[in-house]
Chains A and B, each alone.
Chain A
Amino acid sequence: MANIANTNELKANKTGVSAKLIVRIVSITVVLALWEGIARSGLLYKDVVPTISAILYGIWEVLADPTFFRQAGVTLGEITLSVILGAATGITVGIILGSRPFFAKIFEPLLHYLAPTPKIIFFPLLIMWFGIGEGSKIAMGTISSFFPIVLSVASGMRHINPVYVRVGRSFRATAWQQATKIYIPAMRDPVVNGLRLAFGVSTIGVLLAETKFAQSGLGFMVTRYYQQFNMPSMYGIVLIIFAFAIFVNWLFGKLIVEETQ
């Protein structure tokens, strides 16, 4: 009985997966066909909605641009540094909040209010403090990534099974050993999840900042193509950024899955 139910479930699951795939392919094809149709119909301004082949050419043009990899490197560097700085501050503050209910009561409601606020409103200030160069972009990304990390670390800390901490105490682990051998491994999941969210918001923060006042970076390239009215290349670079974000997210996803296995 159980076996039959199981195989039925499996079958249902299998058809579920392939059905999903079919729906996905069909919808992408439909969107692409619609796009191409609109582009070719001349209903909309041809430069605003370029044909797919024009966009593909745009992607190639962006990749062939000798400055592209340098600009991508700038952006990537800014994002990486933002996430590192955001993680360093976020994990530290998160551990303090998670272990000291007194501070948590005072500061955590504030953090919860600030977390969903678009951080771009701080950008004018950041420009005054760090200039229009990479400094203000990194600051922007750091502020963005700080919030998801600090909140997930603080709550992760509170959800640690207290018996693990008691085991550490009973074997007389030092505060440092408790932190590195118990708290951090026990919080791996929330930390990785926080980093993943941090990567997303700091990418948004950095790119958004680059489209405002900047002299380099992918966001800067997007605005430059826009100003040159080079729509195919603009779409091209947007798709490249999109693909990159999917890739990194997938990487974090793999990290989490490995942990739970």
Chain B
Amino acid sequence: MKVNKKPAVSVGGASSEQPVLVVDKISKVYQTNSGSLIAVDGMSFSVNPQEVVSVIGPSGCGKSTLFNLIGGLTPPSSGKISVSGMPVNGPHPSISMVFQEESIFPWRNVVNNVAFPLEINGVPKAEREEHARRFIQMVGLEGFENHTPSQLSGGMRQRVAIARGLASEPKLLLMDEPFAALDEQTRLLLGDKVIQMQQELKQTILLITHNITEAIQLSDRIVVMSYRPGRLKRIIDIDLPRPRTSEIVSSEEFGRYVAMIWDDLREEASKGMAAADSARATT
């Protein structure tokens, strides 16, 4: 087990080993009625090609804010983000976002949802549908191409969202708690699907989560965030053998990682709970 206290930001170096994502001293301050709120405070880390990195932290610590900063939907207050060496100033074609909320379009069937990014880029209908089918198959939804979202389960809908994210063939797939609304079993099985997909595409992934099991199951490295201000607490390397399946959850190694991350998180989560309690007390 290796624990990096300091985030390693390797800028430059050999072009093949150039990180896909570099987050450099990024901060976000929200101006609210009750003053300014530091949601993300000077975070730095990078994600290398084909790596799966998770960002974990208690509810309200600024994970979605970080997600929106990297996705270019929210401008940072300070700091820089770059993808494959190019600066991110707004939504970037090399990044696909899978949102925390249910985000597939209820008025489109599965194929047309998955083909949406290609449609936006002007890919002809036949071509983009064929392309979409490939990713629908990859997330295990073949046979459901013509179903509407209302005919699918919650887990299937999130898989459609992931397929849509993959369809634009991004350098970085950015996911914000994609399985948060699902039950534990579905979550573990979907984790297996994501691992399979990642292996097949060699996809670089940044996954945001508050689920320890999910983070360890899927990641090469885990970025632990602190609560208010949202800072980088530490980065943990996960040295579990690959390919992994959900069976790994019951291994002893796995348990040690859980204990270690929980140790970090407990402190932060209790800060979060205390803050929520005092907020409730004052209102």
- Residues of chain A whose beta carbon lies under 8 Å from any beta carbon of chain B: 161, 163-164, 166-173, 177, 181-182, 185-186, 188
Contacts and interface: CB of A to CB of B under 8 A. Distances in A.
Contacts of A170: 71-73, 91, 95-97
Nearest to A166: B73
Contacts of B120: 168, 171-173, 177, 181
Nearest to B68: A166
B103 interface: yes
Per CB-CB distance, the 3 closest pairs between chain A and chain B, nearest first, are A170-B97, A185-B107, A163-B101
Contacts of B97: 166-167, 170
B107 A186 contact: yes
Interface in B97-155: 97, 99, 101-103, 105, 107-108, 116-117, 119-120
A169 to B, nearest CB: 6
B73 A164 contact: no
Interface residues of B, number: 20
Contacts of A164: 103, 105
A107 B139 CA distance: 48
A171 B116 contact: yes
Given A166-B97, A171-B168, A182-B105, 12 more contacts: A163-B101, A166-B99, A167-B97, A167-B105, A167-B116, A170-B72, A170-B91, A170-B97, A172-B91, A181-B120, A185-B105, A185-B107
Given A169-B73, A170-B71, A163 B99 contact: yes
Interface of B: 71-73, 91, 93, 95-97, 99, 101-103, 105, 107-108, 116-117, 119-120, 168
B103 A167 contact: yes
A182 B116 CA distance: 11
Q: Identify whether the interface residues of B are mostly helix, strand, loop, or mixed.
A: loop
Given A166-B73, A177-B120, A172 B93 contact: yes
Contact of B107 (A168, A171, A188): A188
A169 B102 contact: no
B75 to A, nearest CB: 13
Contacts of A173: 120
A99 to B, nearest CB: 17
A10 to B, nearest CB: 23
Nearest to A185: B107
B148 to A, nearest CB: 9
A49 B107 CA distance: 51
B91 A171 contact: yes
Nearest to B174: A170
Nearest to A259: B107
Nearest to A182: B105
A172 B119 CA distance: 11
A52 to B, nearest CB: 47
A181 B117 CA distance: 11
A170 B170 CA distance: 12
B91 A169 contact: yes
A177 to B, nearest CB: 6
A164 B101 CA distance: 10
18 contacts: A163-B101, A164-B103, A166-B97, A167-B99, A167-B116, A170-B71, A170-B72, A170-B96, A170-B97, A171-B91, A171-B117, A172-B93, A172-B120, A177-B120, A181-B119, A185-B107, A186-B105, A188-B107
Q: Which of A168, A172, A182, A186 has the most CB of B within 10 A?
A: A172
Contacts of B71: 170
A163 B102 contact: yes
B124 to A, nearest CB: 16
